[in-house]
Amino acid sequence: MVSGPDLWQNNSVSFNTTSATTVTLSPILDKTLSMFAIVFSINTMISLGCAMDWSKIKNHVIKPKGVAIALVSQYGVMPLTGFCLAKAFQLSGITATVILICGCSPGGQLSNLMTLALQGDVTLSMVMTSCSMFMALGMMPLLLYLYCKGFPNLHKAVPYGSIILSLFLTTICSGLGILINHFRPQYSKTITKVGLSISLVASVGIIMAVGFNFGVSILLVLSPPLVATAALMPFIGYVFGYIISSVCRLNQAERRTVAMETGCQQIQLCITILKIVFPPATMGPLFIFPILLLAFQLIESGVIVALFKAHQRFTPKEKEPYMPALTEDNGPQTSSDVSPSNAISC
């Protein structure tokens, strides 16, 4: 019944809940979601590219300190976090693969929105998102290959070629968006707003369609180990992203930016890869895990934004130092310059 390679049928690499191989998408819904995932990814990547300014990208390329630190945090902290959590909760097979794919994914546009809400460096956030997306073309397959070696026979089952092809296509779409913003900037804002609105509606549609198809089987994904993994991954990313950028002495705005970039993953890319390269019978309800991860990213980043706003509201602002007024002689007026008669007349 499993349409993937025979290796997936091996117990050592199968989903550790046996009903996953019996819960599948209907053929019509499967084809619809496959096409929908491709269109969804193309639309999102073009919209993200249209939000990029080439001149600002160039400035961060010339002085790449912030981008370099963010990239090290993104591709250093999150894949290692996914690997350690999969080992700690004794997950194996396709379950571990899904977690590793999410952990090795580049940053997403959620980080751009949260950076704006936290008054961070939005330009750095956008450049980091684009750079991590371009680097994912090589880094994501490499990291998956390295970390999957920690699970018996798993590295042989991951379809690296299909993943590279998916990343290559999404990278082209991002580049197309950048070109639109560069040569036709009058259209870029409209494309970004409409595109992201469509992505939001599409996300709700995917959740409803998959939820209707799987029904109670979705509860398999909500097992304590997977819920804990989904909750801990973004939290660890936010914390370590801020710590690493603090050690590297970035300013406060850049620290908040790197923290958001590290903890927020490209969930739509995860969904696209899982939907395109893995058979439905292999995935089962694990297709929902990236959406669960997205929910925790939203909740935890929302809490951080709320705490930041509360801190700003209740922390008294520093008073500006007193500067004496200038006299007509362009010098500061002191007490010796004021005669008794002038003081009385005042």
Q: What is the pLDDT of residues 178-199, one digit of tens each?
A: 888 888 888 888 887 788 777 7
Most confidently modeled of 120-124, 140-144, 220-224?
140-144
Q: Judge whether 13 and 93 are in contact, CB under 8 Å.
A: yes
Does residue 7 form part of some domain? no
Question: Tokens standing for 305?
Answer: 């934004």
Spatial CB neighbours of 260, under 8 Å, sequence gap ≥ 6 = 111, 114, 115, 118, 120, 125, 238, 241, 301
Does residue 3 form part of some domain? no
Spatial CB neighbours of 1, under 8 Å, sequence gap ≥ 6 = 21, 22, 24, 281
Q: Which amino acid does the sequence have at 130?
A: S
Residue 80: its pLDDT value, please?
93
Would you give the DSSP letter of residue 69?
A: H
Q: How many CB atoms lie under 10 A from the CB of residue 143?
A: 23
Structure-model confidence comparison of residues 105 and 162, the more confident one: 105
Band of the pLDDT at 232, cuts 50, 70, 90?
very high
Mean per-residue pLDDT of the chain: 75
Distance from C-alpha of 126 to C-alpha of 199, rounded to nearest angstrom:
18
Does residue 190 form part of some domain? yes
Chain segment 59-106, per-residue pLDDT in tens = 777 878 878 888 888 899 999 999 999 999 988 778 888 898 899 888
Number of domains in the chain: 1
Does residue 337 form part of some domain? no
Residue pointed to by tokens 């996914």: 82
Chain segment 41-62, per-residue pLDDT in tens = 777 778 767 866 677 777 777 8
Report whether pLDDT(307) > 80: yes
Report whether pLDDT(242) > 80: yes
Q: Which amino acid does the sequence have at 83?
A: F
CA 118, distance to chain mean position in Å, is 15
Q: What is the pTM for the complete model shown?
A: 0.68
Does residue 341 form part of some domain? no
Band of the pLDDT at 259, cuts 50, 70, 90?
very high
Does residue 115 form part of some domain? yes
**CATH number, domain containing residue 310:** 1.20.1530.20
Spatial CB neighbours of 67, under 8 Å, sequence gap ≥ 6 = 60, 61, 124, 127, 128, 131
Q: How many CB atoms lie under 10 A from the CB of residue 107?
A: 29
Residue 211: its pLDDT value, please?
66
Q: Judge whether 85 and 231 are in contact, CB under 8 Å.
A: no
Neighbouring-strand partners of residue 107: 265
Spatial CB neighbours of 264, under 8 Å, sequence gap ≥ 6 = 107, 108, 110, 111, 114, 234, 237, 297, 301
Residue pointed to by tokens 């989904």: 230
Does residue 186 form part of some domain? yes
Does residue 144 form part of some domain? yes
Domain span at residue 203 reads 13-314
